[in-house]
Amino acid sequence: MCGRSVKEYRTKIPKENTSAISHLFVAMTTTGNEQFQTTVEGTLAPSTSSRIAEICYQSAGLLIGIIGMAANGLILYAMVDSQQHKKQILIFNQNVFDLCSSLLLFVTYILRFCDISLTGSLGYWLCTLILSEGLVWCSLLGSVINLMSVTVERYLKVVHPNLSKKLLRKWVIYGAVAFACISSTTHVMTLTYFTSGVIDGICYGFALWESTVGAMINAVITFLTYFVAPVLIFLFCYGRILVVIRRQATVMAAHAGPSPSTAQTHSTQIQTINSHELH
């Protein structure tokens, strides 16, 4: 069997933790078809309201995926048709990431609706790659990294145009594209392998942590890297871009010729002076 088996998971999880997992107050399954609540006797009973909420949630995910695929597919087609994909490489790659995210989101929720039995190697890989949303997160985090690259590229071109000609070579741009793909995939797939798996036919995505401390450390690093850092970069770069654009607008206005009203006033004054001289 590819990957880690259910037996291996059980040997890693203490007995009391295994009991806790099997008697969660709300056991959420990524197969997407049943949610249960624990009764007084300890048995599991389906919750109709939870089921309805889950169907609405999955339907919304499908709708977002369809709209995203249509919108980003249209943008990519327009860029390829106009040959802009060769000039705007990072922008093109950004739309590729968004298209992949939408497609993978659509596939993920379609499989959850199908209620596939998670057994054997196929069940394990379906859980770790798709039902856990591992591939979706690969594309989403890659999109965030690529968006930061786009921001830095725009900052260099506007604020430091001379420096950008030296730094923004073709190999640098392609390197940024490769870094966004490789770094996000490595990060997410490593987490997926060590923290996801199938237990008793239920897919646990990013849930099988060996320690709470490790989970907290990962949460903090992910939050700082993919949420705080992008916001700081956006604020700094676009703030500087706005300052430079305003400064250029002021300089252009100062060097521009007199406005039509000013020229008309000067012409009237000259005509008045000439008339006085004639008299």
Domain assignment of residue 202, yes or no: yes
Does residue 272 fall inside a structural domain?
Answer: no
Is residue 164 situated within a structural domain? Answer: yes
Burial class (CB in 10 A: 0-12, 13-18, 19+), 45: exposed
**How many domains does the structure of the chain reveal?**
1
Residue 121: CATH number of its domain: 1.20.1070.10
pLDDT of residue 119: 87
Please indicate, yes or no, if residue 217 is contained in any of the structural domains: no
Q: What is the pLDDT, as a whole number, of residue 41? A: 39
With tokens 């705080």, the residue in question is 228
pLDDT at 254: 82
82 CB neighbour count, 10 Å cutoff? 11
Query: pLDDT truncated to tens, each residue of the chain (279 aa)?
Result: 344 444 344 334 444 444 443 333 333 333 344 443 433 334 444 568 888 888 888 889 899 999 999 999 999 999 999 999 989 999 999 999 999 999 999 999 999 888 788 888 889 999 999 999 999 999 999 999 999 999 999 999 999 999 998 999 999 999 999 999 999 999 999 999 999 999 988 999 999 998 999 999 999 999 999 999 999 999 999 999 999 999 988 888 887 755 555 545 545 544 554 444 444
Question: Which among 161, 169, 185, 188 is positioned nearest to 244, based on CA atoms?
Answer: 161
User: CA 105 to CA 99: how far, in whole Å?
Assistant: 10
pTM for the model: 0.73
DSSP lists the bridge partners of residue 204 as 197
The answer to whether position 270 is within a domain reads: no
List CB contacts of 232: < 8 A, sequence separation 6 or more: none
- What per-residue confidence (pLDDT) applies to 267? 52
Residue at 259 is within a domain: no
| 60: Cβ contacts below 8 Å, ≥ 6 apart | none
DSSP string, 24-51: -SEEE-TT-S-EEEE-TTS-EEE-HHHH
With beta carbons less than 8 A apart as the criterion, state whether 155 and 148 touch: no
- Quote the distance between the C-alpha of residue 235 and its chain's center: 18
- Write down the pLDDT at residue 90: 95
State the sign of the Cα–Cα–Cα–Cα dihedral 21, 23, 25, 30. positive
DSSP 3-state of 274: helix
Q: For residue 173, what are the domain limits?
A: 6-211
Q: Is residue 61 part of a domain?
A: yes
Query: Which residues are registered as beta bridge partners of 44?
Result: 38
Judge whether 250 lies within some domain: no
